[in-house]
Amino acid sequence: MASLAPRSVCSELCPSGYRKASRPGQPICCFDCVPCSMGEITNISGASDCMKCPDHLWSDDKREKCIPKITDFLSFEDSLGSSLTAISTAASFITVSVLIIFVKFCDTPIVRANNQELSYVILASLTLCFLCSLIFIGHPMKINCLVRQPAFGVIFSVCISSVLAKTIIVVVAFNATKPSSKLKRWVGSRWIPSSIVMFSSVLQVIICAIWLCTSAPFPQNNMNSEPGKIIIECHEGSTIMFYCMLGYLGFLASTCFIVAFFARNLPDRFNEAKYITFSMLVFISVWLSFIPAYLSTKGKNMVAVEIFAILASSAALLFCIFIPKCYIILFKPDKNTREKLTGK
């Protein structure tokens, strides 16, 4: 009976999903089987090298075949997107309710004090601020990528410049009471607040127009940021213009904070400056913390960070400036008198 021929290998063939790795100092027939790296496959036994999947595909768990990558973006359906949508919608309804209260009680002293038209503009722009965060949620497309950042920048500029105008009116009105003051002729003038709001807002419009004309935002498929995922996102186009837009908002908020801070100790009827000071402090703090958080996140979390900053800073303006007035209007009407506001 013939004997079996001896085997000339010391290692079995590697199964699919693995590749050969030679053992240093040993014959070529001796090798180890090493799993393919993520994004690579082998679909045959005994393969020497793994095959890299195309950019739009990824390896399965067994590293035997390439499968489509998971697409990822902040959608209205997932828990994070739906939560932010609910908060944004609820906050806009609250803001509209405050606006309705101010219109209904427009003849009361607390509403008429310090330019009620500016209060209406601030509340209307705050409503749009809350709603503009919805543009950031959903599948990124050319139109919402193009609109969302400029819309956010311009609406916030109108809001902050209106608060700045309201604060400057406080300072002008107080200094006009001094003997021989040249500011008396400006008290009650609608030209000052209108000019401040228009000029400040137009500058932001110019920044955004330059941004859109030179290097506009656009949607892109980011295939390299996270393994196994295609992150569908809006590329900001020009990062410099994006931070110019944010920097201008920061400049307006800082100016408003400084003016309100120095006006905070004016007589009681001008105590609104104290609330504006605190709201601007919160606003600036939110956006200072936003930048490192924005730079350290990726994908839909990056979008969520910006939405949170929009909602938090808008809520700071609403609750610090207007909710105390609504409390007095609805629950303390005895304090909503000219005598109480003037301290006489």
Predicted local confidence at residue 43, as pLDDT: 85
| Domain boundaries for CATH 1.20.1070.10 within the chain | 72-177+186-342
Question: 227-245 pLDDT, tens per residue?
Answer: 888 889 898 889 999 999 9
Q: What does the DSSP assignment read for 175-215?
A: HTTSTT-TTGGGTT-SHHHHHHHHHHHHHHHHHHHHHHHHH
Q: What are phi and psi of 240, to 5 degrees?
A: -60, -45
Name the amino acid, one letter, at 34: V
Give dist(CA 91, CA 127) in Å, integer: 8
Checking if the pLDDT of 11 tops 90, the result is no
pTM summary value = 0.84
For the chain, the first-to-last Cα distance in angstroms comes to 124
Angle formed by the axes of helices 142-175 and 272-295, to 10°?
A: 150
In CATH terms, 72-177+186-342 corresponds, of 1.10.3720.10, 1.10.730.10, 1.20.1070.10, 2.60.40.10, to 1.20.1070.10
User: Would you say how long the chain is, in residues?
Assistant: 344
**pLDDT for the residue numbered 273:** 77
% residues pLDDT > 90 (the chain): 40
**pLDDT in the model for residue 113:** 75
Contact 81, 312 (CB under 8 A): no
The pLDDT-based confidence of 14 (bands split at 50, 70, 90) is: confident
- Map 96-108 to HEC letters: HHHHHHHHHCCCC
- Is the CB of residue 132 less than 8 Å from the CB of residue 150? no
